[in-house]
Structure 1
Amino acid sequence: MHLPAELLFRLREIFPIDALATGEAERIAYSYDNSRRQALPDAVVFPTEHAQVEALVQACRAHEVPVIARGRGSNTTGATVPVAGGVVVSFERMNRILRIDPDNRLAVVEPGVLNGDLQQALAAHGFFWPPDPSSAPWCSIGGNLACNSAGPRTVKYGSPRENTLGLRAVAGSGEGFRCGTYTSKGATGYDLTRLLIGSEGTLALITEATLKLTPKPSAVRTLRATYRDVGAAARAVARIMAQPVTPCALEFIDDAALKLAHDHGGDRVPLAGAMLMIEVDGEPATLPSAVDAVSAAARGDGLEELRVAETAEETRALWAARKALSPAQRTISPHKINEDVVVPVSHLPALVDGIRLLSAKHDVLIVSFGHAGNGNLHVNLLPRDDAERERAHACLADVFALVLSLEGTLSGEHGIGMVKREFMPLALEPATLELMRNVKAAFDPDGILNPGKLLP
């Protein structure tokens, strides 16, 4: 697809010369994301204000040209790959923090603000925004909202859906609108804010977000528990989540992941059947009793060692295994398949056991770790050659079938994108998918926003 001359002329009217890229080198730079999928856009634009986004969508709609919103490209499901060509809208220059309001516990930001930069600005006021994906230093708030990306703290503080008050956006019709409130309570019509979050840019382009802030706890304590096997660790997760003290992080790492991390990171990473990383936060006076309660739940059949960090240095040492995982996986397989399935916490032992059986059945190395307190497991298939890649795709279908049989869902925070579209009919009833298509048509009547994503 090539842009019509009339549309290209209109884009030059809307955007300054340095905010519109049509050269091949620039287009290649915005043709892929962290999924390793790639497709060349016809142009890339860099808006700096809401009015430009409205004018852009109106112009592209008039010529039936696709519009693909993009944060920083850290998505792993191909959600920002312009599979039908068109115009990629990179929000990296809309990166202002417009307002921090501690009295009302909110911040107003543009979508290109980096998660890590926002956290740094909020810390000076004694607050934080709970979503904290591992890509926080380089992922954008707009991207976090597009995929409802969360991270370890979700177990206690919730995902972007629970931590966003309102949005400003542009629908596929080219009309700008606001939704949500500046208050923590509101019952005025349909909740379009939560609908847009997780919609992967298929309904509207977010140009501003009003975020709900949380006071920073004054103390955090880190625990590390190692277990005889993955089943014992999974049962400990269920016990921890069944008692009154909710940890602010509860991470699971299986034996295959520990071995990988140990090979990469050395003896600071323990070798065990499985490991839990646990964090508890609160006020100094109440923290010891909270740590005791979580420790008691962590103990049980199969526990090998429980360590509590007393200093910042000990905390860094305990987290070494988790931090060594990503680089370790890259050394094994450049074709890693990274899924982020979720099941109810009580079904986590069955999920972990089932994945081990599927790894043996398909003869594919699978490394599992993730946010166990939510039942959100990152299942990483690591094929090393073409034959293993073929088996890995068959194995993946079985993994999804297992997850759905355990009352789970296909994605906790990575989204659907293009990678998991084909599995959507397994997860949702035809009537549900039809309602989603009707919602899509209401927001985007001509289907120009991020085509080829999310809906099968």
Structure 2
Amino acid sequence: MDRRLIAAFERALGAEAVLTGIDDCLAYGYDNSSYRANPAMVLLPTRIEQVQAAVRLAREYKLPLTARGRGTNTTGASVPVERGIVIGFERMDAILDIAPGDRTARVQPGVLNGDLQAALAPHGLFWPPDPTSAPFCSIGGNIACNAGGPRAVKYGATRDNVLALKAVTGTGELVEFGARTSKNAAGFDLSRLLIGSEGGLALVVEATLKLSPKPAARAMLRALYRDMESAAEAVARLMAQPDTPSMLEFMDATALRLAREVGGADIPDAGALLMIEGDGDPAQLPELLRRLAGFAQGDGCLDITIPGSEAEQAQLMAARKALSPALRSLASGKINEDVVVPVSKVPALVRFVEALACESGLTIVSFGHIGNGNVHVNVMYDKADAGQTATAEACAGKLFAEVLRLGGTLSGEHGIGLAKRPFMAQAFTPETLTMMRGIKQLFDPDGILNPCKTLPE
């Protein structure tokens, strides 16, 4: 990058906030996907004014600017445009305020989800979004992709747990949306518009989060099933009854084997497993579990047990969270899709995935937050085999087409990024996409914020 341009950013942000070394920039050129690109510059602001200055300079010089949290995204959403600029928020990591009486916390975007949870614990509170990467993903990243996690089935995803945002638009203006109150009927709800926009509309620089009381107790059921379809039928029954589980996780037979062999969980062989959790008053938990177990029973149910100790429950949960990296033991290539369908359509989706695996001859592993209808479908293939690679990519296209036919959506929590961008034209009508582009134009008139992502060409 031109030295005069570098000097302009150093004057505006301070030399300590500007990285241009090849090795320094390389670390900001990838996320948890297969996409890579080398930025020409990395900016690490500590104050809102620096973010505004960075955006104004990027706009002046027509430079693409990609926001980055901790790079845990799986769709390439935080991968920069080649030779563009990354603005990382890792140094804006302050918890500005915790208000237990209001059940709110005000934070900067670089705060780690896990660090926030630790700070809230003494107050008996927690922030519900709990993705697998919670110990090392940032709140800003959670906001960018509307992160969820296992307990979103009861407590909601990020969009349901943010009250207000401060953000810098593509023109460098600081805007504020929402309020610190749980009820707000004043004006347009633009906070929810920014959540899930992957940094393409504005850069979030502060968030007011809605907190929940930490349950006094949790307990888990482990239900084993003959096959995926019988487990899916049980999910439909469980989500139709009055008691909402605080977690409802699913693993197919291959995921079960990995949880046992790689994750160390003590699980018998079965066609599928459901992890069903209830939370609340310790005195009422046994009766809640009894009711949940009753709905989990049915054709194809092999066994329902309560893990004997908190340690066993923690081990089972840890094995579930270890599944994604454990898949690398099956094949060198993985297409990981986090599709969502209405809960009543989960059995149909499961049947389709089983048929797709037979038709393609590839191993397809399914697990996920099935209480929301959110299934992580992992198509495994050999990267060195061109035929398998093409077949895997075709499987993804067929999966998306079926999900949309069932009334579902392309992503529950991973976002669109680069990976799913080509399928957006199937998911939305031309009129809707035109409106989305108009909103993008309003927030970011020169198209500098995270370009070439989300919206199709």
Range into which the TM-score falls when normalised by the shorter chain: over 0.9
Q: Which residue of 1 aligns with 2:392?
A: 392
CA–CA distance in structure 2, aligned partners of residues 18 and 38 of structure 1:
25
Q: Residue 320 of structure 2 is aligned with which of 314, 319, 322?
A: 322
SS, match of residue 295 in structure 1: helix
Q: When the two structures are aligned, how many residues end up with a matched partner?
A: 454
Q: Percent identity?
A: 56
- Cα deviation, 1:46-75, whole Å, max 9, x if unaligned, reads 100101000110111011111110000000
Q: Which residue of 2 aligns with 1:444?
A: 444
The range that moved more, 419-428 or 319-328, is 319-328
CA–CA distance in structure 2, aligned partners of residues 182 and 7 of structure 1:
40
Task: Give how far 1:150 is off.
Answer: 0.8
Q: Which residue of 2 aligns with 1:419?
A: 419
SS, match of residue 162 in structure 1: helix
Residues 363, 87 of structure 1: alpha-carbon distance in 2 compared, 3 angstrom cutoff: same
CA contact 2:264–2:319 (8 Å) conserved in 1: no
Q: Which residue of 2 aligns with 1:336?
A: 334
CA–CA distance in structure 1, aligned partners of residues 326 and 159 of structure 2:
32
Mapping 1:92-107, distance limit 5 Å: 92-107=90-105
Q: Which residue of 1 aligns with 2:155?
A: 157
Q: Residue 136 of structure 1 is aligned with which of 123, 134, 137?
A: 134
Task: Give how far 1:265 is off.
Answer: 4.3
Letter in 2 for 1:348: V
Mapping 1:423-434, distance limit 5 Å: 423-434=423-434
The range that moved more, 196-205 or 329-338, is 329-338
Q: Which residue of 1 aligns with 2:145?
A: 147
- Cα deviation, 1:104-140, whole Å, max 9, x if unaligned, reads 0100000000000000000111000000000001100
Q: Which residue of 2 aligns with 1:42?
A: 40
Task: Give how far 1:187 is off.
Answer: 1.1
CA–CA distance in structure 1, aligned partners of residues 174 and 125 of structure 2:
30
CA contact 1:149–1:413 (8 Å) conserved in 2: yes
Q: Which residue of 1 aligns with 2:410?
A: 410
Q: Residue 357 of structure 2 is aligned with which of 356, 359, 364?
A: 359
Q: Which residue of 2 aligns with 1:89?
A: 87
Q: Which residue of 2 aligns with 1:375?
A: 373
Letter in 2 for 1:237: V
CA contact 1:66–1:84 (8 Å) conserved in 2: no
CA contact 1:131–1:160 (8 Å) conserved in 2: yes
- Cα deviation, 1:120-163, whole Å, max 9, x if unaligned, reads 00011100000000000110000000000110110000011110
The range that moved more, 383-392 or 154-163, is 383-392
CA–CA distance in structure 1, aligned partners of residues 150 and 47 of structure 2:
32
Task: Give how far 1:317 is off.
Answer: 4.2
Over the residues paired in the alignment, what is the CA RMSD in angstroms?
1.3
Task: Give how far 1:5 is off.
Answer: 4.4
The range that moved more, 24-33 or 326-335, is 326-335
What's the TM-score, normalizing by structure 1? 0.97
CA contact 1:132–1:151 (8 Å) conserved in 2: yes
CA contact 2:381–2:392 (8 Å) conserved in 1: yes
Quick check: 1:182 aligned with 2:180?
yes
Letter in 2 for 1:400: F
CA contact 1:221–1:310 (8 Å) conserved in 2: no
CA–CA distance in structure 1, aligned partners of residues 452 and 399 of structure 2:
23
SS, match of residue 150 in structure 1: coil
User: Which ranges in structure 1 are unaligned for 5 or more consecutive residues?
Assistant: none
CA–CA distance in structure 2, aligned partners of residues 267 and 39 of structure 1:
38
Q: Which residue of 2 aligns with 1:70?
A: 68
Q: Residue 52 of structure 1 is aligned with which of 50, 53, 60?
A: 50
CA contact 1:145–1:198 (8 Å) conserved in 2: yes
